C-alpha cells in the first residue's frame, strides 16, 4: 500500500476515534460536574499580592522599551524575565530577585537591558528582524521571539561570561518570510504571532504560528540554531516545513482558518493544540511526527463551523493552555468571554469539551501553573487566579483576582490595564503578567 494512502487511513482512524472520544467524554462530563460540586475546591485559595511593577503606569518603577508588551517568559535558570514589546520593536530583559521582584538596568550597562530593532539610541543592543514582537519563549541558553511586523522568528543566545542575551547580526540571528533585514530566508512565517517548543527531545523542534499558518523548525539542542524543515520530508512526502490553509508558500494545505494566536504541546511532544482567532475561530489538534512535521487531526468550533466538532463558548479564541499531566486543555475565547475546559485522550490526542466553563468579561489569555494546581486568566483590567481540581476533570474554582480598579479580594494593582500574556514560575509562587495598556510588566506573588 502506498505510504500516502496509509497516512490517509491513519488520519481517518483518528477522526473516528476523535468522534468516539467526544461522545464518551460528553456522557461522563455531567457526572464529573456533580462530583466536583460535592468535593468543592481542591485546596484553599491562594491570594495575590503585587511584588512590584516596571513601566509607565502610576505606582510602577520607571522602565523603557515597554510600549504595548504582549509576551512574557522566565528564563530556564529563573534569573531573568523577558518581555516582548510590540510597540517598542524590542525584547526587554529584567533581573529577577529572590523575592520575585523585577529590576531593569538603567542605561548602557553592557546593554543587558534590551535588544531592539534600532538599538534604542545606544541603550539596547542593536537587533534585526524585531519589528512588532508578540511572543517569547526560552529553553536552556536560548531565547526565541516571534515578530509579527518582520514575519520572523528571532534567535538570541546567552553569553556564558556576561550572562547577556545577544542576537547574531547575520542570518543565524533570525529567519523571516523573504530573507530581508539580514535574516535567513524562510516560508510560512507571515504574521508571526505565537511560539511553541516540543518539550520532549530536549526541545528539538520549534513552531511559529501566524496568519493562517504554522511553520516548523528543527532546533540544535547544543547551539540553539534553527533550520526550517524542508518540503517533501522523506518520511512523510506530503508534509512540508509549514502548514497553511491554501498550500501556498511551499506549505502543506491543511486546516488553519485564521491567525494562530496561541499554541501548547502535550508533555510527550506528540500533539500540538492551537487557538485560532476570528469569529467563530477554532481550536485545532495536530499530530507531530517524530521528524517534526505537523499533521492536522481535528478541530472544535462554535456550532461546528468549518466542519469542526461542534463546541460552545468558543467565539474568537485568544489563548490556550495545557496542564503538564496532559489531561486538560483550556481555551480563552474573548468573543464568548469564556474559559472553556477540554478533557484530553492521552493516547490519541483527541479532546472533548467539558462543562464548568468560567465566564469572564474582556478576556485575553489563559495559562496553567506548571505544578498543575492553578490556572490564570487575563482581562483588560487585570488577572484572575483559579484553583484547578486535578482529580475531577480539571475543573476551575476562582481563588482571587487583581485589577487596576479594585473590586477583588486583593487590593487594586498597578500596571495591569490591558493585561495580556501571563507566566507562572515553576515553583508556583511568582506570577508575571504584562499590561499592554499600561506599558508595564508586573510581578505578583501568592500568599
The closest alpha carbon to 314, from 271, 277, 269, belongs to: 277
430 Cβ contact partners less than 8 Å away, ≥ 6 residues apart: 51, 96, 100, 424, 443, 444, 445
Residue with cell 475531577: 392
H helices of 273-377, in order, are none
Can you spell out the DSSP letters for 231-283?
Answer: SS-TTSTT--SEEESS--TT-EE----SBEEEEEE-TTSSEEEEEE-SSS-EE
Residue 161 CA, distance from chain mean position = 30
Residue ranges of E strands in 277-418: 282-288, 294-302, 309-311, 317-322, 328-333, 338-344, 351-353, 358-359, 363-368, 374-379, 382-389, 395-403
Residue 56: count other Cβ atoms within 10 Å of its Cβ: 15
Read off the C-alpha cell for 123: 541603550
What CA dihedral angle connects 332, 338, 339 and 345, to 10 degrees? Answer: -90
The closest alpha carbon to 83, from 413, 423, 384, belongs to: 423
6 Cβ contact partners less than 8 Å away, ≥ 6 residues apart: none
Report the b/e string of 395-418 with b at 16+ CB within 10 A: bbbbbbbbbbeeebebebbbbbbb
**How many Å apart are CA 426 and CA 370, to the nearest integer?**
6
Residue ranges of E strands in 380-446: 382-389, 395-403, 419-424, 430-435, 440-446
Q: Is the peptide bond before 191 cis (omega within 30 degrees of 0)?
A: no
Phi, psi of 86 (to 5 degrees): -60, -45
CATH class belonging to 3-44+69-379:
mainly beta
Phi, psi of 360 (to 5 degrees): -140, 125
Alpha-carbon distance values, 165 to 143, 147, 268, 345, 415 (Å): 8, 17, 29, 39, 26
**How many Å apart are CA 49 and CA 130, to the nearest integer?**
33
For the chain, the distance separating the N- and C-terminal CA atoms, rounded to the nearest angstrom, is 61
**How many Å apart are CA 143 and CA 430, to the nearest integer?**
21
Can you spell out the DSSP letters for 54-71?
Answer: EESSTTSBP-SS-SSEEE
- Which sequence spans correspond to the domains of the chain? 3-44+69-379
**How many Å apart are CA 423 and CA 73, to the nearest integer?**
6
What per-residue confidence (pLDDT) applies to 388?
95
Tell me, yes or no, if the pTM score tops 0.75. Answer: yes
**How many Å apart are CA 391 and CA 433, to the nearest integer?**
28
The closest alpha carbon to 425, from 370, 366, 368, belongs to: 370
Enumerate residue ranges in the chain where pLDDT < 70.
Answer: 1-46, 106-112, 121, 231-239
Amino acid at each position: 500500500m502506498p505510504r500516502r494512502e496509509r497516512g490517509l487511513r491513519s488520519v481517518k482512524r483518528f477522526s473516528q476515534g476523535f468522534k468516539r472520544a467526544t461522545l464518551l467524554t460528553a456522557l461522563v462530563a455531567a457526572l464529573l460536574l456533580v462530583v466536583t460540586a460535592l468535593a468543592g475546591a481542591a485546596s484553599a485559595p491562594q491570594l495575590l499580592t503585587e511584588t512590584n511593577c516596571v513601566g509607565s503606569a502610576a505606582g510602577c518603577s520607571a522602565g523603557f522599551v515597554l510600549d504595548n508588551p504582549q509576551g512574557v517568559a522566565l528564563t530556564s535558570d529563573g534569573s531573568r524575565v523577558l518581555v516582548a514589546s510590540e510597540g517598542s520593536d524590542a525584547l526587554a530583559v529584567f533581573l529577577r530577585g529572590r523575592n520575585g521582584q523585577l529590576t531593569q538596568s538603567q542605561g548602557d550597562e553592557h546593554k543587558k537591558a534590551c535588544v531592539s530593532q534600532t538599538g534604542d539610541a545606544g541603550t539596547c543592543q542593536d537587533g534585526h528582524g524585531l519589528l512588532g514582537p508578540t511572543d517569547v519563549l526560552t529553553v536552556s541558553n536560548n531565547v526565541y521571539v516571534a515578530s509579527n511586523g518582520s514575519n520572523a522568528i528571532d534567535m538570541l543566545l546567552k553569553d556564558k561570561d556576561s550572562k547577556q542575551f545577544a542576537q547574531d547580526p547575520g542570518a543565524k540571528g533570525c529567519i523571516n518570510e523573504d530573507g530581508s533585514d539580514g535574516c535567513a530566508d524562510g516560508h510560512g512565517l507571515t504574521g508571526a504571532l505565537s511560539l511553541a517548543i516540543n518539550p520532549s527531545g530536549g526541545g528539538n523542534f520549534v513552531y511559529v504560528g501566524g496568519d493562517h499558518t504554522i511553520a516548523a523548525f528543527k532546533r540544535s539542542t547544543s547551539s540553539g540554531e534553527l533550520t526550517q524543515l524542508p518540503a517533501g520530508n522523506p518520511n512523510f512526502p506530503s508534509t512540508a516545513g509549514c502548514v497553511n490553509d491554501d498550500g501556498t508558500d511551499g506549505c502543506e494545505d491543511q486546516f488553519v482558518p485564521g491567525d494562530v494566536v496561541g499554541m501548547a504541546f502535550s508533555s510527550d511532544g506528540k500533539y500540538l493544540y492551537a487557538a485560532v482567532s476570528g469569529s467563530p475561530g477554532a481550536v485545532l489538534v495536530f499530530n507531530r511526527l517524530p521528524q517534526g512535521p505537523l499533521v492536522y487531526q481535528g478541530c472544535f468550533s462554535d456550532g461546528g463551523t468549518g466542519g469542526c466538532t461542534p463546541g460552545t463558548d468558543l467565539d474568537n479564541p485568544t489563548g490556550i493552555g495545557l496542564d503538564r499531566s496532559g489531561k486538560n486543555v483550556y481555551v480563552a475565547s474573548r468573543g464568548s468571554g469564556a474559559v472553556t475546559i477540554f478533557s484530553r485522550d492521552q493516547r490519541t490526542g483527541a479532546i472533548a469539551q467539558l462543562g464548568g466553563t468560567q465566564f469572564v468579561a474582556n478576556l485575553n489569555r489563559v495559562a496553567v501553573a506548571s505544578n498543575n494546581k492553578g490556572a490564570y486568566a487575563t482581562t483588560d483590567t487585570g488577572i484572575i487566579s483559579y484553583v484547578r481540581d486535578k482529580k475531577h476533570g480539571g475543573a476551575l474554582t476562582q481563588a482571587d483576582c487583581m485589577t487596576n480598579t479594585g473590586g477583588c479580594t486583593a487590593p487594586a494593582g498597578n500596571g495591569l490595564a490591558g493585561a495580556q500574556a501571563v507566566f507562572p514560575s515553576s515553583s508556583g509562587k511568582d506570577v508575571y503578567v504584562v499590561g499592554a495598556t499600561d506599558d508595564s510588566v508586573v510581578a505578583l506573588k501568592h500568599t
